[in-house]
Structure 1
Amino acid sequence: MTRTFWVILALIVVVVGGFASMLSFGGGSSRIPWRRPAPVAVPAAVPQGVLALPVVGVRRDQIADSWNDPRGDGTRGHHGVDIMAPAGASVVAAAPGRVEKLFQSNLGGTTLYVRSIDGATTYYYAHLAAYAPGVHEGQVVRAGDPLGYVGDTGDAGAGNYHLHFGITRMAPGQRWWEGENVNPYPLLAARGAGG
Protein backbone atom coordinates (compact mmCIF):
# COMPACT_ATOMS: atom_id res chain seq x y z
CA MET A 1 0.00 0.00 0.00
CA THR A 2 1.20 3.45 -0.87
CA ARG A 3 1.98 6.33 1.39
CA THR A 4 -0.89 8.31 -0.19
CA PHE A 5 -3.35 5.54 0.79
CA TRP A 6 -2.22 5.75 4.45
CA VAL A 7 -2.49 9.55 4.50
CA ILE A 8 -6.03 9.44 3.07
CA LEU A 9 -7.02 6.69 5.51
CA ALA A 10 -5.64 8.70 8.43
CA LEU A 11 -7.61 11.78 7.33
CA ILE A 12 -10.82 9.73 7.06
CA VAL A 13 -10.30 8.31 10.57
CA VAL A 14 -9.71 11.81 12.01
CA VAL A 15 -12.83 13.24 10.31
CA VAL A 16 -15.04 10.31 11.38
CA GLY A 17 -13.62 10.44 14.93
CA GLY A 18 -14.30 14.18 15.15
CA PHE A 19 -17.87 13.71 13.97
CA ALA A 20 -18.45 10.81 16.39
CA SER A 21 -17.17 12.89 19.32
CA MET A 22 -20.01 15.37 18.72
CA LEU A 23 -22.67 12.68 19.13
CA SER A 24 -24.13 11.32 22.35
CA PHE A 25 -24.49 7.55 22.63
CA GLY A 26 -26.43 5.41 25.14
CA GLY A 27 -27.08 6.00 28.82
CA GLY A 28 -28.67 9.44 28.65
CA SER A 29 -32.22 9.74 29.93
CA SER A 30 -32.77 13.09 28.29
CA ARG A 31 -35.99 13.58 26.31
CA ILE A 32 -34.86 16.99 25.12
CA PRO A 33 -32.61 17.53 22.13
CA TRP A 34 -28.95 17.86 23.03
CA ARG A 35 -27.47 21.31 22.79
CA ARG A 36 -24.19 22.72 23.96
CA PRO A 37 -24.75 24.20 27.43
CA ALA A 38 -24.43 27.95 27.85
CA PRO A 39 -21.40 29.12 29.79
CA VAL A 40 -22.07 29.05 33.52
CA ALA A 41 -21.09 32.10 35.50
CA VAL A 42 -19.78 31.21 38.93
CA PRO A 43 -21.86 33.23 41.37
CA ALA A 44 -20.27 35.93 43.47
CA ALA A 45 -19.49 35.06 47.06
CA VAL A 46 -22.64 33.93 48.84
CA PRO A 47 -23.18 35.02 52.45
CA GLN A 48 -22.52 32.33 55.03
CA GLY A 49 -25.59 30.16 55.63
CA VAL A 50 -27.02 30.96 52.19
CA LEU A 51 -26.77 28.66 49.17
CA ALA A 52 -25.98 29.58 45.60
CA LEU A 53 -29.01 29.18 43.36
CA PRO A 54 -28.85 25.69 41.81
CA VAL A 55 -30.62 26.62 38.54
CA VAL A 56 -29.04 29.20 36.25
CA GLY A 57 -31.48 31.97 35.30
CA VAL A 58 -33.81 31.55 38.28
CA ARG A 59 -34.04 34.40 40.80
CA ARG A 60 -34.49 33.90 44.53
CA ASP A 61 -37.90 35.58 44.47
CA GLN A 62 -39.12 32.98 41.93
CA ILE A 63 -38.68 30.09 44.36
CA ALA A 64 -41.76 28.93 46.27
CA ASP A 65 -41.68 27.05 49.57
CA SER A 66 -43.13 23.62 48.74
CA TRP A 67 -41.67 21.94 51.84
CA ASN A 68 -43.94 19.26 53.29
CA ASP A 69 -46.64 19.75 50.62
CA PRO A 70 -48.59 16.47 50.23
CA ARG A 71 -47.19 13.96 47.75
CA GLY A 72 -48.14 10.39 46.80
CA ASP A 73 -51.87 11.05 47.22
CA GLY A 74 -51.20 12.53 50.65
CA THR A 75 -49.19 9.56 51.93
CA ARG A 76 -45.98 11.55 52.38
CA GLY A 77 -44.69 15.11 52.63
CA HIS A 78 -42.48 16.84 50.07
CA HIS A 79 -38.91 16.88 51.39
CA GLY A 80 -37.39 19.57 49.23
CA VAL A 81 -38.13 22.57 47.06
CA ASP A 82 -39.23 22.35 43.44
CA ILE A 83 -37.54 25.01 41.32
CA MET A 84 -39.48 25.51 38.10
CA ALA A 85 -37.31 26.20 35.05
CA PRO A 86 -37.20 25.62 31.30
CA ALA A 87 -36.18 22.18 30.04
CA GLY A 88 -32.43 21.97 29.72
CA ALA A 89 -31.62 24.91 32.02
CA SER A 90 -28.22 24.45 33.65
CA VAL A 91 -28.17 22.96 37.15
CA VAL A 92 -25.14 23.95 39.23
CA ALA A 93 -23.76 23.10 42.66
CA ALA A 94 -25.47 25.13 45.39
CA ALA A 95 -22.50 24.63 47.72
CA PRO A 96 -19.00 23.16 47.56
CA GLY A 97 -18.56 19.45 48.15
CA ARG A 98 -17.92 16.11 46.50
CA VAL A 99 -20.26 14.26 44.13
CA GLU A 100 -21.16 11.27 46.25
CA LYS A 101 -23.66 9.44 44.07
CA LEU A 102 -25.15 9.46 40.57
CA PHE A 103 -28.37 7.49 40.78
CA GLN A 104 -31.49 6.53 38.79
CA SER A 105 -34.66 6.18 40.87
CA ASN A 106 -38.37 5.75 40.20
CA LEU A 107 -39.32 8.91 42.10
CA GLY A 108 -36.35 11.20 41.45
CA GLY A 109 -35.42 9.97 37.98
CA THR A 110 -31.88 11.05 37.12
CA THR A 111 -30.44 12.22 40.44
CA LEU A 112 -27.18 13.45 41.90
CA TYR A 113 -26.00 13.78 45.50
CA VAL A 114 -23.24 16.17 46.62
CA ARG A 115 -21.80 15.74 50.14
CA SER A 116 -20.45 18.88 51.82
CA ILE A 117 -16.71 19.14 52.47
CA ASP A 118 -17.23 18.53 56.21
CA GLY A 119 -19.49 15.52 55.48
CA ALA A 120 -22.36 16.92 57.56
CA THR A 121 -24.75 17.83 54.72
CA THR A 122 -25.93 16.24 51.48
CA TYR A 123 -27.45 18.26 48.64
CA TYR A 124 -29.88 16.32 46.43
CA TYR A 125 -30.64 17.23 42.79
CA ALA A 126 -33.50 15.28 41.15
CA HIS A 127 -35.52 15.04 37.90
CA LEU A 128 -32.43 15.93 35.84
CA ALA A 129 -32.63 15.53 32.06
CA ALA A 130 -28.94 14.55 32.01
CA TYR A 131 -25.66 15.06 33.85
CA ALA A 132 -23.25 17.75 32.71
CA PRO A 133 -20.34 16.39 30.64
CA GLY A 134 -17.62 14.88 32.79
CA VAL A 135 -19.60 14.78 36.05
CA HIS A 136 -18.61 11.68 38.03
CA GLU A 137 -18.72 10.23 41.52
CA GLY A 138 -15.86 11.49 43.67
CA GLN A 139 -15.60 14.79 41.77
CA VAL A 140 -14.92 17.84 43.93
CA VAL A 141 -17.19 20.78 43.05
CA ARG A 142 -17.38 24.43 43.97
CA ALA A 143 -20.61 26.43 44.24
CA GLY A 144 -21.64 27.22 40.68
CA ASP A 145 -19.94 24.23 39.01
CA PRO A 146 -22.17 22.54 36.38
CA LEU A 147 -23.89 19.32 37.49
CA GLY A 148 -26.67 18.70 34.96
CA TYR A 149 -29.77 20.00 33.23
CA VAL A 150 -33.37 20.56 34.33
CA GLY A 151 -35.65 17.74 33.20
CA ASP A 152 -38.84 15.84 33.98
CA THR A 153 -37.49 12.37 34.80
CA GLY A 154 -38.85 10.11 37.53
CA ASP A 155 -42.30 10.98 38.83
CA ALA A 156 -42.08 14.66 37.81
CA GLY A 157 -44.61 14.11 35.03
CA ALA A 158 -44.00 14.66 31.33
CA GLY A 159 -43.40 18.34 30.61
CA ASN A 160 -43.29 19.32 34.30
CA TYR A 161 -39.72 20.60 34.04
CA HIS A 162 -38.15 21.48 37.36
CA LEU A 163 -35.32 20.71 39.73
CA HIS A 164 -36.25 19.02 42.99
CA PHE A 165 -33.62 20.27 45.43
CA GLY A 166 -33.28 18.68 48.86
CA ILE A 167 -30.94 18.89 51.84
CA THR A 168 -30.21 16.29 54.49
CA ARG A 169 -28.14 16.71 57.65
CA MET A 170 -25.84 13.73 58.04
CA ALA A 171 -24.50 12.03 61.16
CA PRO A 172 -21.02 10.52 60.98
CA GLY A 173 -21.07 7.25 59.02
CA GLN A 174 -24.42 7.85 57.32
CA ARG A 175 -24.64 7.06 53.58
CA TRP A 176 -26.03 9.22 50.76
CA TRP A 177 -29.65 8.00 51.16
CA GLU A 178 -29.73 8.49 54.93
CA GLY A 179 -29.88 11.63 57.07
CA GLU A 180 -32.49 14.06 58.38
CA ASN A 181 -34.38 16.10 55.77
CA VAL A 182 -34.11 19.88 56.15
CA ASN A 183 -36.18 22.58 54.43
CA PRO A 184 -33.85 24.21 51.86
CA TYR A 185 -36.19 27.14 51.17
CA PRO A 186 -34.78 29.56 53.78
CA LEU A 187 -31.25 28.99 52.43
CA LEU A 188 -32.32 29.51 48.80
CA ALA A 189 -34.71 32.45 49.20
CA ALA A 190 -32.65 34.43 51.73
CA ARG A 191 -33.11 38.13 51.16
CA GLY A 192 -30.08 40.27 50.46
CA ALA A 193 -28.19 37.27 49.09
CA GLY A 194 -28.19 38.35 45.45
CA GLY A 195 -29.17 36.19 42.48
Structure 2
Amino acid sequence: MSDTDNREPPETFIAKFHERWPEWGVAIAFIAPGERDALEAWLALLQEFADAAWGGSQAAPGLAKLAWWQDELLGWSRGARRHPLAQRLRSQTIDWPALGHALNVLPATRDGAADGVAKTLQPLAGALAQAEARLAGQPVGQDDAALLVAVLLGERALRHGDADEAQRVLATWPRHRGAGSGGRRIQAELLRRRLLALADRKAPQSLAAWRVLPLAWRAARG
Protein backbone atom coordinates (compact mmCIF):
# COMPACT_ATOMS: atom_id res chain seq x y z
CA MET A 1 0.00 0.00 0.00
CA SER A 2 1.51 3.34 -1.01
CA ASP A 3 1.20 6.72 0.67
CA THR A 4 -0.66 7.90 -2.44
CA ASP A 5 -3.28 5.17 -1.94
CA ASN A 6 -3.62 6.23 1.67
CA ARG A 7 -4.59 9.74 0.61
CA GLU A 8 -7.21 8.59 -1.90
CA PRO A 9 -10.90 8.83 -0.93
CA PRO A 10 -12.86 5.59 -0.61
CA GLU A 11 -14.73 6.48 -3.81
CA THR A 12 -11.51 5.83 -5.76
CA PHE A 13 -11.53 2.16 -4.78
CA ILE A 14 -15.28 1.83 -5.26
CA ALA A 15 -14.87 3.33 -8.74
CA LYS A 16 -12.18 0.72 -9.40
CA PHE A 17 -14.70 -1.97 -8.46
CA HIS A 18 -17.34 -0.40 -10.75
CA GLU A 19 -14.82 -0.24 -13.59
CA ARG A 20 -14.39 -4.00 -13.37
CA TRP A 21 -18.06 -4.69 -12.63
CA PRO A 22 -20.08 -1.98 -14.42
CA GLU A 23 -23.18 -4.16 -13.99
CA TRP A 24 -23.46 -2.75 -10.47
CA GLY A 25 -24.65 0.53 -11.94
CA VAL A 26 -27.88 -1.37 -12.61
CA ALA A 27 -27.79 -4.09 -9.95
CA ILE A 28 -27.49 -1.61 -7.07
CA ALA A 29 -31.18 -0.77 -7.58
CA PHE A 30 -32.04 -4.07 -5.91
CA ILE A 31 -30.12 -3.22 -2.72
CA ALA A 32 -31.82 -1.17 0.00
CA PRO A 33 -30.52 2.43 -0.12
CA GLY A 34 -29.24 2.31 3.44
CA GLU A 35 -27.09 -0.77 2.65
CA ARG A 36 -25.50 0.37 -0.59
CA ASP A 37 -22.48 2.32 0.64
CA ALA A 38 -21.23 -0.41 2.94
CA LEU A 39 -21.90 -3.17 0.40
CA GLU A 40 -20.00 -1.48 -2.40
CA ALA A 41 -17.08 -0.73 -0.07
CA TRP A 42 -17.12 -4.37 1.06
CA LEU A 43 -17.05 -5.70 -2.50
CA ALA A 44 -14.24 -3.25 -3.32
CA LEU A 45 -12.32 -4.54 -0.29
CA LEU A 46 -12.70 -8.16 -1.40
CA GLN A 47 -11.50 -7.18 -4.86
CA GLU A 48 -8.33 -5.82 -3.26
CA PHE A 49 -7.79 -9.13 -1.45
CA ALA A 50 -8.31 -11.15 -4.65
CA ASP A 51 -5.96 -8.94 -6.66
CA ALA A 52 -3.27 -9.34 -4.01
CA ALA A 53 -3.73 -13.11 -3.76
CA TRP A 54 -4.03 -14.07 -7.43
CA GLY A 55 -3.22 -11.07 -9.62
CA GLY A 56 0.04 -10.18 -11.30
CA SER A 57 2.77 -12.36 -12.72
CA GLN A 58 4.86 -12.43 -9.55
CA ALA A 59 3.73 -13.64 -6.14
CA ALA A 60 5.93 -11.45 -3.92
CA PRO A 61 4.10 -8.10 -4.31
CA GLY A 62 0.75 -9.74 -3.58
CA LEU A 63 2.11 -11.51 -0.51
CA ALA A 64 3.37 -8.20 0.82
CA LYS A 65 -0.05 -6.62 0.24
CA LEU A 66 -1.81 -9.46 2.04
CA ALA A 67 0.49 -9.04 5.05
CA TRP A 68 -0.27 -5.30 4.98
CA TRP A 69 -4.00 -6.02 4.90
CA GLN A 70 -3.77 -8.30 7.92
CA ASP A 71 -2.16 -5.53 9.92
CA GLU A 72 -4.65 -3.00 8.59
CA LEU A 73 -7.70 -5.04 9.61
CA LEU A 74 -6.30 -5.48 13.09
CA GLY A 75 -5.97 -1.69 13.25
CA TRP A 76 -9.61 -1.26 12.25
CA SER A 77 -10.64 -3.21 15.32
CA ARG A 78 -8.72 -0.69 17.44
CA GLY A 79 -10.18 2.38 15.79
CA ALA A 80 -7.15 3.05 13.60
CA ARG A 81 -7.14 3.22 9.85
CA ARG A 82 -4.81 3.79 6.93
CA HIS A 83 -6.81 2.50 3.97
CA PRO A 84 -9.59 4.81 2.70
CA LEU A 85 -12.17 2.03 2.63
CA ALA A 86 -12.08 2.09 6.42
CA GLN A 87 -14.19 5.25 6.22
CA ARG A 88 -17.07 3.13 4.96
CA LEU A 89 -16.38 -0.14 6.76
CA ARG A 90 -14.51 0.25 10.04
CA SER A 91 -17.67 0.95 12.06
CA GLN A 92 -19.36 -2.25 10.89
CA THR A 93 -19.72 -4.94 13.58
CA ILE A 94 -17.40 -7.31 11.77
CA ASP A 95 -14.71 -9.29 13.56
CA TRP A 96 -11.86 -7.62 11.70
CA PRO A 97 -9.02 -9.48 13.50
CA ALA A 98 -10.65 -12.82 12.66
CA LEU A 99 -10.97 -11.82 9.02
CA GLY A 100 -7.38 -10.63 8.93
CA HIS A 101 -6.21 -13.92 10.44
CA ALA A 102 -8.23 -15.86 7.85
CA LEU A 103 -6.26 -14.15 5.06
CA ASN A 104 -3.37 -16.41 6.13
CA VAL A 105 -4.71 -19.13 3.83
CA LEU A 106 -4.45 -17.08 0.63
CA PRO A 107 -0.70 -17.38 -0.11
CA ALA A 108 -1.07 -21.16 -0.42
CA THR A 109 -3.87 -20.80 -2.98
CA ARG A 110 -2.04 -18.92 -5.72
CA ASP A 111 -1.31 -22.19 -7.50
CA GLY A 112 -2.75 -25.68 -7.37
CA ALA A 113 -5.84 -27.56 -8.51
CA ALA A 114 -9.24 -26.14 -7.63
CA ASP A 115 -10.31 -29.12 -5.51
CA GLY A 116 -7.31 -28.86 -3.19
CA VAL A 117 -7.51 -25.08 -3.05
CA ALA A 118 -11.22 -25.27 -2.15
CA LYS A 119 -10.38 -27.05 1.09
CA THR A 120 -7.67 -24.51 1.91
CA LEU A 121 -10.10 -21.65 1.37
CA GLN A 122 -12.77 -22.95 3.74
CA PRO A 123 -11.58 -21.00 6.83
CA LEU A 124 -11.55 -17.76 4.85
CA ALA A 125 -14.95 -18.52 3.33
CA GLY A 126 -16.32 -19.07 6.83
CA ALA A 127 -14.92 -15.75 8.04
CA LEU A 128 -16.37 -13.96 5.01
CA ALA A 129 -19.76 -15.58 5.55
CA GLN A 130 -19.77 -14.35 9.14
CA ALA A 131 -18.75 -10.85 8.06
CA GLU A 132 -21.33 -10.63 5.28
CA ALA A 133 -24.10 -11.81 7.60
CA ARG A 134 -23.14 -9.01 10.01
CA LEU A 135 -23.07 -6.53 7.15
CA ALA A 136 -26.55 -7.58 6.03
CA GLY A 137 -27.94 -7.82 9.57
CA GLN A 138 -28.97 -11.45 9.19
CA PRO A 139 -27.89 -14.80 10.61
CA VAL A 140 -25.33 -16.93 8.83
CA GLY A 141 -26.98 -19.53 6.61
CA GLN A 142 -25.77 -23.11 6.51
CA ASP A 143 -24.86 -22.79 2.81
CA ASP A 144 -23.27 -19.34 2.94
CA ALA A 145 -19.68 -20.54 3.35
CA ALA A 146 -20.04 -23.00 0.45
CA LEU A 147 -21.12 -20.15 -1.80
CA LEU A 148 -18.14 -18.08 -0.68
CA VAL A 149 -15.75 -20.94 -1.49
CA ALA A 150 -17.17 -21.02 -5.02
CA VAL A 151 -16.89 -17.25 -5.32
CA LEU A 152 -13.26 -17.26 -4.19
CA LEU A 153 -12.40 -20.05 -6.63
CA GLY A 154 -14.21 -18.18 -9.38
CA GLU A 155 -12.29 -14.99 -8.67
CA ARG A 156 -9.05 -16.96 -8.81
CA ALA A 157 -10.02 -18.48 -12.16
CA LEU A 158 -10.75 -15.03 -13.57
CA ARG A 159 -7.38 -13.71 -12.41
CA HIS A 160 -5.67 -16.72 -13.99
CA GLY A 161 -7.72 -16.43 -17.19
CA ASP A 162 -7.85 -20.23 -17.22
CA ALA A 163 -10.77 -21.79 -19.15
CA ASP A 164 -10.18 -25.26 -17.74
CA GLU A 165 -10.12 -23.90 -14.21
CA ALA A 166 -13.36 -22.01 -14.88
CA GLN A 167 -14.98 -25.23 -16.07
CA ARG A 168 -13.94 -27.04 -12.89
CA VAL A 169 -15.30 -24.25 -10.69
CA LEU A 170 -18.62 -24.21 -12.55
CA ALA A 171 -18.93 -27.99 -12.27
CA THR A 172 -19.06 -27.72 -8.49
CA TRP A 173 -20.96 -24.42 -8.25
CA PRO A 174 -23.51 -24.57 -5.38
CA ARG A 175 -27.09 -25.20 -6.48
CA HIS A 176 -28.76 -23.68 -3.40
CA ARG A 177 -29.94 -20.30 -4.62
CA GLY A 178 -30.88 -18.81 -1.27
CA ALA A 179 -27.41 -18.70 0.27
CA GLY A 180 -25.90 -15.40 1.36
CA SER A 181 -27.29 -11.89 1.37
CA GLY A 182 -29.00 -10.34 -1.63
CA GLY A 183 -25.86 -8.41 -2.52
CA ARG A 184 -23.73 -11.54 -2.31
CA ARG A 185 -26.14 -13.50 -4.50
CA ILE A 186 -26.12 -10.78 -7.14
CA GLN A 187 -22.33 -10.59 -7.26
CA ALA A 188 -22.02 -14.38 -7.28
CA GLU A 189 -24.34 -14.61 -10.27
CA LEU A 190 -22.47 -11.88 -12.16
CA LEU A 191 -19.25 -13.77 -11.46
CA ARG A 192 -20.79 -17.06 -12.62
CA ARG A 193 -21.82 -15.48 -15.92
CA ARG A 194 -18.26 -14.37 -16.56
CA LEU A 195 -16.97 -17.81 -15.69
CA LEU A 196 -19.35 -19.30 -18.26
CA ALA A 197 -17.81 -17.09 -20.93
CA LEU A 198 -14.28 -17.95 -19.81
CA ALA A 199 -15.11 -21.67 -19.74
CA ASP A 200 -16.34 -21.32 -23.32
CA ARG A 201 -12.96 -19.75 -24.15
CA LYS A 202 -14.47 -16.33 -24.73
CA ALA A 203 -13.30 -13.07 -23.20
CA PRO A 204 -15.39 -12.43 -20.04
CA GLN A 205 -17.30 -9.20 -20.53
CA SER A 206 -19.80 -7.14 -18.60
CA LEU A 207 -23.48 -7.82 -19.26
CA ALA A 208 -25.79 -5.40 -20.99
CA ALA A 209 -28.21 -3.56 -18.71
CA TRP A 210 -31.25 -5.39 -20.11
CA ARG A 211 -29.66 -8.69 -19.06
CA VAL A 212 -28.54 -7.44 -15.65
CA LEU A 213 -32.03 -6.33 -14.59
CA PRO A 214 -33.76 -9.75 -14.48
CA LEU A 215 -30.59 -11.50 -13.30
CA ALA A 216 -30.12 -9.14 -10.35
CA TRP A 217 -33.82 -9.18 -9.51
CA ARG A 218 -33.89 -13.00 -9.31
CA ALA A 219 -30.62 -13.17 -7.37
CA ALA A 220 -31.75 -10.56 -4.87
CA ARG A 221 -34.96 -12.49 -4.26
CA GLY A 222 -33.03 -15.74 -3.81
TM-score by length of 1: 0.24
Normalized per residue, the structure richer in strand is 1
Q: Which has the higher contact order (CA 8 A, sep 6+)?
A: 1
